[in-house]
Structure formats: C-alpha cells, structure tokens
Amino acid sequence: MNAIVLSGIWGVVMMFAGLFLKSSKQIQWTALLGIIALLVVSILDYQAHSVQAQTYFGMMTIDVYTSWFSILITACCAMYLLIFHKDIAAVGKNEAEYFALIFFVMCGVYLLASYSNLLILFLGIEILSIPQYILAGSDKENIKSNEASLKYFLMGAFSTGLLLMGMTLIYGATGSFDITSEKFVGQFEQLSSMSSLSFVGILLLLISFGFKVSAAPLHLWTPDVYDGSPTAFTPFMATIVKVSVFVAFIRLFHFSFGNVSDAWQIAIASMIVLTLIIGNVTAVYQQSLKRMMAYSSIAQAGFMLFSIFAVNSTLAYKGILLYSVVYSLASIGVFAVIIKMKDYTYDGFNGLAKKQPVLAFTATVCLLSLVGIPLTGGFFAKYFVLSAVVEQGKYIWIVVFAVLMAAISAYYYFRVIRSMYFKTGEAAMHTEPTTWDKTLLILNAMIILLLGVLPSLVFG
Amino acid sequence: MLILLLILVPFIGGLASFLFGEKMAYAWAVFTSLLTLAIAGTAYYFYSQATHTTDLSFDCPWIESIGSTFSLSMSDGLSVLMIGLTGLLFPCVFISMQNKQPERKHVFYGLMLLAQAGLIGVFLAKDALLFYLFWEVALIPVYFLSSMYGGPNRIPVTFKFFVYTFVGSLVMLVALLIIYNHTPVHSFSWDAFVSVGRSLPEADQSWLFWMLFIAFAIKMPVFPFHTWQPDAYEQSATPVTVVLSAIMVKMGLFAVVRWLLPIIPLGSIHWMNVVLLLCIIGVVYASCMAMVQTNIKRLIAYSSIAHIGLMCAAIFSYSNNLLGVQGAYIQMFNHGINIMGLWILVSIVENRLGTQDLREMGGIAKIAPRFTIALVLISLANIALPLTNGFVGEFMMLNGLFNSISTYRMVFTIIAGLGVILSAVYTLGMIQKVAYGELNEKTASMKDLTMNEWIILLVIMGIILFLGFYPNALMLLVDTP
C-alpha cells in the first residue's frame, strides 16, 4: 500500500524537481533515489503482508504474492532506470517529466497487482496507459514518435472502451464490482448458471487484455509504437508495463473466471497460436533490430499467455513471475546495447564483439535467454509456463506448436549473435559505454545466468 | 565429490581461459584437460575396483519445488567408457594442435573446455532436467566454435546444424515433461522415469518414442536426419570436427540407451523394425556416398554416418544374448578413438598441403613414413580388421543383429554386412589416394609428423592394438548391462 502512495507522491516530486533543480544530473539522481526508496518501501510492504493478506477499503487486497511481485517489478524498474537514466534525460528538454510519468506508471503497476475490485483494475489500466501515450510522443520533433503516440492513444482509448463495456456487462450480471463478493463469485461458479451478459463481458475483457499485452490479432499497434517511440522508453513499455498487465489478468481469469474456463480457454488458445506464429514469423523478416525486438515482444507475450491458459495451476503463477523478471531483464539488456548503436539494422552490429566485447557478451546472454537456452533464466521461464499446460494433460499439441515456434525465434535472435561475433564490420557507436554502464550490464547478465541455475530465487 | 570435479574442472578451466588471455591459453588448456583426464582415470580406477563408490555419485536438491535434483552418477560401464573417451580426447586434440594454433586462442580453448564440461554432464546426469540442461549447454560452445573457426561457408552450415538439433531437443523436452507429469510424486529422477515410463500404455509410448527418438536421431545422425552432418563436418575447423564426430554424436546413442530404451520399452519394440530399417539404409547409403567423395573430410563424415548407423541398429536389435548392445557400447568407445585418429591425420594433411581435395594428394608414403604408418593402421581399425580394436565391437554388433528378435533379422544382417565390405572399399581407396601414387607439386614438400603429433598418434595406435589384442579390458566394463 505504501508503495502505491509513494510512487504517486514521487511522481509529483519529480514534476517539482523539474522546476527547482536546474541540472539534469540532479534530476536523474532524484529519480534514482525515488526508485530505490520505492524498492525499500515495497520490501517493507512485503514483510508487513507476508503473514496475512490485508484488504484496503474493499478495493485492494495485498497478499504475499502481490507484494512479492511488487518487489520484483520494482527491482526490474530500478535496473531499467539505472541503465537508461542518461538516455531518458537525453530524449528531450523536459527530463523531469519523463521520470515523473514513469513513477505514475509504477503507481498503476502496483494498483494492477493488488486490485480486488474491477474499478481499481480500470483505474490501474488507465494510470498505466496515459503516461505511456505521452512517453511514446516525447520526441516531439520526430514524426515517427508523434505517429506512435497518436496511434497508441487512439487504439488504447478504443480498448479502454471495450474494457469498460465488459465491466459494465459483468456488473449487470453480478450486481457487484468486488471480485471477492458473494454475488460475483456465485455468478462464475459454473458455466451452466452463468448469464450470457457475463459471457460477453468476459470476452470483452479478454479483448481489451489482448490489446494491452499485444496479443494477436490485436497486436497491430505494437511494432509502430515500439519502433516509433524513443528507444529509451521502448524497453519500459515492452517489459515492465506488459508483464504487470499479465499479472493483473491472471488474477482475474484464474480466481474469478477459473471455474468457467471452458468459456474463454478456446479464445486464449487461438490468441496464443496466432500470437506465436505472427510474432515469430514476422520477426524473421525484420531488418531493424528495434523492430525485431518489437515483434519479439509479441512472440514472448504468446508464451506468457500460456500462464493464463493453464487455469488454476500453481506452476502458472510461478511461471509468470519468473517470466516477468527474466523477460524484462533480458529485453532491457538487449535494448541497452541497441541504444548505444548508431545503426539499428543487423549490419550495424557487424563486428561488435571485437570492438565492445562486454556489450556483445551481455547481449548474447540476454538473447540466449530470450530463445530459452538452458543455464539462462529464459529456459526455466518457458519451462514453467509450458509445464503448467502439460500438467493439465490436454492441449499437448499447443505446447508442441509453441516449442517449434521457439525454434523459429532462435533464427532471428541468433542472427544478432551472428552479426556481432562472426561478421566483420565497423559497428559504429552512438555513445561509448562507460565502465559503469558495462558493470550494470554484466550484473544484469549475471542475474539472468543465476536465475538459469536457481530459478526458485524469484518464487519468494 | 570426485564426480563433481569432472564437470567443474573443465567448466572453471574454460571460464578462466577467457580471463587469462592469449599467452597462457594453450598451456592452461592442456593442463586443464590433463587434469580432467587424471580425474577420469581415478574415477575409472574406483569403478573397476568397486571402491570409493560414494565418490562416483553426487546428489543434492536443485529445484525442490518441481522435484528436480542435481544428481550425477557413474553407475554403469557405458558412462565410464564415455567419460574415459571424453577425458582422453581433449588432451590428445590439444596436444596435436601445438604446431598450428587458432586465432584468439583463449576463446577457442575456453569454448572447447566448456563443451567438454557439457558433454561430461550429459554422460553423468541421472536427472532428466539436468540431462536436458547439459544436452543444450554442450551445444552452445560448439555452435560458437564451428561458426568462428573453419571453412568459408561455416556460418550458415553451423546454423543449420544448430537449428536441427535445437528443434529435436525442444520436442524431446516436451516428451520429458509429459513423462514427468505421469510420475506419482513429481520427480525428474531417472529411476522415477523408468518405473513410470514402463507402465504407460503402448499407444502413448508409441508417440512418445518418436518425440524422444527424433532428438537423438538428429544428433547421431540416423538417415534421413543426417543432412546437417557432412556439411558441418566439412566446414568446421578439424579440432572441432573431432569433438563433433567422436563425442557429440555419441550423445545420441548414449541417450537412446539411457533415456529411451528403459523408459519407453514397449514403444521401442513397437517401432524397432522401422528404426532398424532407417539405420540399415543409412549404413548402405552413407557407404555409397563415401565412395564417391573427393573431399577427405566429407568422406570421413559419411563413413561416420555408416558406423553410427550400425551402432544404432545393434542397440535396437534386442538380441537375446545382449551381444548387440554390448558390441555397440564397445564400438562407441573404439569408434571415438579411431575417428579421432583419422581427424588428427586429416588436420595434419590439411595444414601441410592446404587442401582437403583427395585428387590433389598422393605419394605421401614416400616422404612421410610415420604419417603413412599411422594412416594405414588407423584406417584398418576403421574397417574393423581383426587385431584392431574395431573388430570386436563390429563382430558383436553383427552377431547381435543376427540374433535379433526382429522378423527381418536375416535381411538386415546381410545388408549391414555389406556395409562392412563397402567400408573397406572407401577406406582403402582413401589410403591409396592420400599415401600412394605419384608425388605432385603440393605433396612433394610434405613434412613428416612432428614429435607431438607422433606421440599422440602412437598413443592412439597403442590403444587400437591393445584393445585389438585384449578386448577383455572393455568387455569387463560392459558385461553387466
């Protein structure tokens, strides 16, 4: 609870920091101080809630799982800010506001992790989304950034509408927004007694959710937005924001709609198949690494969808936690290298291993993790979400399909490794990495490797 | 603890090699690989004397929530043989490379040692998840090695190899997961897999069989999954090819013995004839292909497919007297030794003459007698001539195939026997083209073996002759299956 308050307050603090602090360095330090404070507060929250779950105002329930996720996601965000704070400040003139917006997004993340009322879910989604529309367009003079912002806003507004419509229909059927209330639980006890209003409501929620996590066929905004946004913000949108939407919806679909899974499992299954095939196959044809990573984030969302698909499996909860952390760190690690380059195409990376062995090595670890090679955290992330489905005994075919798609993903991830290590070229840099940058990137890679040996560290 | 050192020494040695830099790299690699060999030798001694058995297995909880333990064990003759082969091979390869060092040595030797750690892990793992982990981990350093060192076309060829094996192993992972989910107390241990796998209905076993077998068949490779192999062998740098062909392909055979036959017995018997047919086709097809090759590396690559095909057929023969399986175990070791010798010779020819083309060779016998002695002896072992190490295993395998429970055992044995004759044709042809005939401009300046090469080849020839005269040394290891 304190994390929610502090993230909101610190967002305001950052806005004032822009007024009173003149140097960009000071603003960056304020932001870093803020995220560290947030991390400390969420650890304290975790200790307070580790014994028993607590409900606030009948709107939010904070339990062990929620507060543990808050710690993990804050840690990922801290890693993101540590690596990217200079690049964020370099995007435009209003650096304090970019950091403020990031803290507001974090506030939305905490709300999404802890809601027990659909209204808070809606509020969380909105707090999460609106700052992102601004961040996408923060490079004001770049037409692609403007396009990204407008596209994101229009499509986002549309999906918010669908989300509200779904909630309204479910309210109509149950008479309650509180997902723990008897009325609400009773409605979704079995499929036969569920009203048709709820059925449509669930599907609308699912569509809105699919939009937020860029699941096909609702993914069309993703490549343009991720590609057009300033490179400093893309990893934030593609990782921390996306995984928290997963954690939000896994609660809703497993706790509340778990018993009526027959109503929506097929829809999720078709989303998974489409997402995996479109994400992976299209990524193969990209020439720009930034765009490839956009499609890769679609493809990875396909794997994360498995955790929603595997209803009421404890493995699914563990899996999405591990996937969130590992996928976020790996993507951040890759983007940290991309942003240092002058040319974002594959050819721009030729010969990087000779010129910057540390960058090439850390990017390789991150890419191997995204493929899901053992000894990196990515392997266990995929392992847990897939074995959650295998555990259910049916739908084995979709798991086999997913691993074949993982093999396709090896093609485009390894293509980067090929450029860096096996081809010769200039690998022109935009900015030279400092020792501090390299240390952080190595730390990031080491965490990924550590999670590849001891994945249980993130289960809390 | 001893068994843990077998993995840790090359692993840490490999990591250290990256840090030590180029000057120390070669000495460090030789030292580390010899240390590994010494540990492997000690382990072999303990195993054969049946003392210190606690040192030969290691167990500690790994990921308890899913019932996976970090469990290694050197419990049967096959793993002892494979560890021995892996331990022996790396120092031999390193020492034979003394004259021609690769660029950026510390990277090369570091990756080689990491590959060794992964390979040893595959042969020791007694936990399915751990086995899968090592199976993949062994592949990654080899992928980098083959892509960075070798022929002009190496990058796409290696990538093809990588994708083939990666697809296979992912499907295998799903199969392992399915079996895992049938275990009563969820566990990845080998024992749990064996007891639950046997009890699965035949219908389930018959498709699980293919999910596992394809992964192993790609690795071996068995016809028709072999298309990555000749290209990869040809384009990789020869020291890497040794690792690929002497040990990595044995991973496939080893996995069949350890992770397929005991776990999916009904499925294996159900598909026995199909597998045997593929293997036998592979033997004849690869032998015929080997006969028409003009590139020496491709020739040996195809010869390797033929030999592996026969080994796989023997493993699947289900002979009543177990001769087939035991013969395959012995041959897995001996083939590793022989093919290592052949590749070392090839790399010597390649480095001195600058060509892999058989048509540009000839007459070497006149000026390089030591080289020719080694070439002839090792080639004869490759043909499985009596009194060389190849003979015993090949004899037992054919015997096993003849006593197979398969209805078509006669046909299979006769055609497989044809493969033995064909192997004489192409191997002798190769000796003739390399060593005999007239000298030409290229070969006239060929230098004979240097001391380090001669020592390594003497060791290899010593093993070949010793095991040819006294095969009992191996028989004792594989007697209890």
- What is the per-residue pLDDT for A259? 86
Q: Can you state the angle between helices B272-291 and B296-315, rounded to 10 degrees?
A: 160
- What is the per-residue pLDDT for B478? 81
- What is the per-residue pLDDT for A102? 94
Question: What distance in Å separates residue A390's CA from the closest CA in chain B?
Answer: 6
What's phi and psi for B397, nearest 5 deg?
-65, -45
Query: Taking every pair of C-alpha atoms in chain B, what is the biggest distance, in angstroms?
Result: 70
Q: Give A217's Cβ-side CA count (13 Å radius).
A: 2
Picking from B138, B158, B163, the residue whose alpha carbon sits closest to that of residue B146 is B158
- Look up residue A241 and give its DSSP letter: I
Instruction: Using an 8 Å CB-CB cutoff, list residues of chain B that contact chain A.
Output: 63-66, 132-133, 136-137, 140, 144, 147-148, 155, 159, 162-163, 166-167, 170-171, 173-174, 177-178, 180-181
- What is the per-residue pLDDT for A123? 93
- The 10s digit of each residue's pLDDT in B171-211 is 899 899 889 988 888 888 888 898 888 888 888 889 899 99
For chain B, give the percent of residues with pLDDT over 70. Answer: 100
Choose from A422, A442, A453 for mutation: most chain B CBs within 10 A.
Answer: A422
- The 10s digit of each residue's pLDDT in B416-447 is 888 888 999 999 999 988 888 888 877 777 78
Residue A321 parent element (H or E): helix A314-338
Q: Are B213 and B146 in contact (CB under 8 A)?
A: no
Chain A environment of B125 (Cβ under 8 Å):
none
Taking the CA atoms of A191, A195, A198 and A202 in sequence, report the sign of the dihedral they define: positive
Q: Are B33 and B91 in contact (CB under 8 A)?
A: yes
A to B CB pairs, distance under 8 Å: 69
Question: What distance in Å separates residue A419's CA from the closest CA in chain B?
Answer: 11
Picking from A31, A114, A33, the residue whose alpha carbon sits closest to that of residue A73 is A114
- What is the per-residue pLDDT for A371? 92
What's phi and psi for B72, nearest 5 deg?
-120, 145
pLDDT at A422 over 70: yes
Look at the block and give the residue holding tokens 């794997």.
Answer: A303
B206's CB contacts (< 8 A; 6+ apart) are B266, B267, B270, B271
Q: What residues pair up with A72 in beta bridges, in sequence order?
A: none
- What is the per-residue pLDDT for B57? 85
Chain A environment of B181 (Cβ under 8 Å):
387, 390-391, 393
- The 10s digit of each residue's pLDDT in A223-264 is 999 999 999 999 999 999 999 999 998 988 888 888 888 888
Question: What distance in Å separates residue B167's CA from the closest CA in chain A?
Answer: 6
Of A318, A379, A400, the CB nearest to B171: A400
Q: Nearest-CA residue of chain B relative to A408?
A: B163
For chain B, give the percent of residues with pLDDT over 90. Answer: 31
pLDDT at B115 over 90: yes
Mean pLDDT of B126-135: 91
CB contact under 8 A, B136 and A373: yes
* pLDDT-derived band at B36, boundaries 50, 70, 90: very high
Chain A environment of B207 (Cβ under 8 Å):
none
Mean pLDDT of A84-90: 91
Picking from A226, A230, A251, the residue whose alpha carbon sits closest to that of residue A241 is A226
Q: Nearest-CA residue of chain B relative to A373?
A: B136
Q: Can you state the angle between helices B272-291 and B409-435, rounded to 10 degrees?
A: 20
Chain B environment of A315 (Cβ under 8 Å):
66
Distance CA B100, CA A160 (A): 66
Q: Nearest-CA residue of chain B relative to A424?
A: B148
Of A383, A399, A407, the CB nearest to B166: A407
- What is the per-residue pLDDT for B452? 87
Distance CA B264, CA B198 (A): 6
Of A368, A373, A399, the CB nearest to B174: A399
What's phi and psi for B292, nearest 5 deg?
-100, 5
Mean pLDDT of A44-63: 86
- Comparison of pLDDT for A95 and A439, the residue scoring more: A439
How many Å from the N-terminal Cα to the C-terminal Cα in chain A?
19
Of B65, B133, B159, the CB nearest to A414: B159
Phi-psi region of B185 (alpha: psi -120 to 50; beta: other; left: phi over 0): beta
- The 10s digit of each residue's pLDDT in A335-363 is 999 999 988 888 889 989 888 889 999 99
- What is the per-residue pLDDT for A251? 86
Q: Are A156 and A149 in contact (CB under 8 A)?
A: no
- The 10s digit of each residue's pLDDT in A273-285 is 999 999 999 999 9
CA separation, residue A135 to residues A29, A91, A453 (Å): 20, 10, 36
Burial (CB count <10 Å: 0-12, 13-18, 19+), residue A159? buried
CB contact under 8 A, A422 and B63: no
Question: What distance in Å separates residue A456's CA from the closest CA in chain B?
Answer: 7
Q: Can you state the angle between helices B154-182 and A396-417, rounded to 10 degrees?
A: 150
* pLDDT-derived band at B480, boundaries 50, 70, 90: low
Distance CA A179, CA A192 (A): 20
pLDDT at A81 over 90: yes
- What is the per-residue pLDDT for B256? 92
Chain A environment of B136 (Cβ under 8 Å):
373-375, 379
* pLDDT-derived band at A134, boundaries 50, 70, 90: very high
* pLDDT-derived band at B78, boundaries 50, 70, 90: confident
Q: What residues pair up with B245 in beta bridges, in sequence order?
A: none
**Amino acid in the structure at residue B265:** P
Burial (CB count <10 Å: 0-12, 13-18, 19+), residue B182? middle
Distance CA B317, CA A97 (A): 73
Chain B environment of A374 (Cβ under 8 Å):
132-133, 136-137
CB contact under 8 A, A400 and B180: no
* pLDDT-derived band at A100, boundaries 50, 70, 90: very high
- The 10s digit of each residue's pLDDT in B321-372 is 788 888 899 999 999 999 999 999 988 888 888 888 888 888 888 888 888 9
Distance CA A57, CA A116 (A): 10
Instruction: Using an 8 Å CB-CB cutoff, list residues of chain A that contact chain B.
Output: 315, 318, 368, 373-375, 379-380, 383, 386-387, 390-391, 393, 396, 399-400, 403-404, 406-407, 410-411, 414, 418, 421-422, 454-456, 459
